[in-house]
């Protein structure tokens, strides 16, 4: 029996974010600010079969690249994701995102009493206390937050 495969169009230049945990692709798009028409091709594949991880999501974005803060945000959602840099329809670079030791200015502290929520000119700082499970600690109020709460507080 012939197997039918649905293929996503290749992109000329841009990024492919692979090995996103199943069901998290839309969160990746949200943190990258892709919530409306950006004028470039964006492909999202969800619940894709993978020999290595079972089910995964994949995001392709043409004419877009990531800065360090965006990489840190992706690491919160998908600590095992890989990013492929595409040029002239070919992968020219591939790397795995890494969880930094601290997150500066990319999360809002969920503690309403934290100094970072009172108009003071300080950036939030969260230190990684544990990777599995992911636990972050606010440097100012010392509140611990887990991965899902951190994802909901990405700015």
- Which of 49, 75, 96 is the last residue before a domain boundary? 96
In a domain, 8, yes or no: no
* 74/120 same-domain check: no
* 92/19 same-domain check: yes
Domain of 34 in residue numbering reads as 13-96
> Which pTM value belongs to this model?
0.86
Beta strands in 3-151 (DSSP E): 13-21, 42-50, 54-62, 82-87, 90-96, 102-104, 125-131, 134-138, 144-146
pLDDT score for 36? 81
pLDDT score for 18? 95
pLDDT score for 35? 81
* 64/110 same-domain check: no
In a domain, 4, yes or no: no
* 57/108 same-domain check: no
pLDDT score for 6? 61
pLDDT score for 52? 76
Q: For the chain, which residues score pLDDT lower than 70? A: 1-6
Rounded CA-CA distance 99/130 in Å is 11
pLDDT score for 5? 64
Q: For residue 43, what are the CA distances in angstroms to 108, 116, 141?
A: 29, 36, 40
Provide the domain count of the chain: 2
The per-residue pLDDT for range 20-30, each reduced to its tens digit, is: 999 999 999 99
* 55/34 same-domain check: yes
């Amino acid at each position: 029996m012939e197997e039918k495969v649905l293929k996503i169009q290749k992109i000329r230049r841009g990024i492919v974010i692979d090995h996103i945990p199943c069901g998290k692709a839309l969160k990746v798009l949200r943190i990258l600010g892709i919530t409306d028409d950006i004028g470039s091709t964006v492909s999202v594949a969800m619940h894709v079969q993978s020999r290595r991880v079972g089910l995964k999501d994949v995001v392709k974005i043409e004419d877009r690249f990531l800065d360090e803060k965006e990489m840190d945000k992706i690491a919160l959602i998908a600590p095992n994701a890989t990013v492929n840099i595409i040029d002239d329809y070919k992968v020219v670079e591939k790397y795995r995102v890494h969880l930094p030791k601290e997150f500066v200015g990319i999360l809002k502290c969920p503690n309403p009493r934290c100094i970072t929520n009172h108009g003071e000119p300080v950036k939030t700082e969260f230190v990684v206390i544990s990777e599995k499970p992911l636990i972050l600690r606010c440097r100012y109020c010392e509140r611990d937050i887990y991965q899902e709460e951190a994802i909901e507080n990405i700015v």
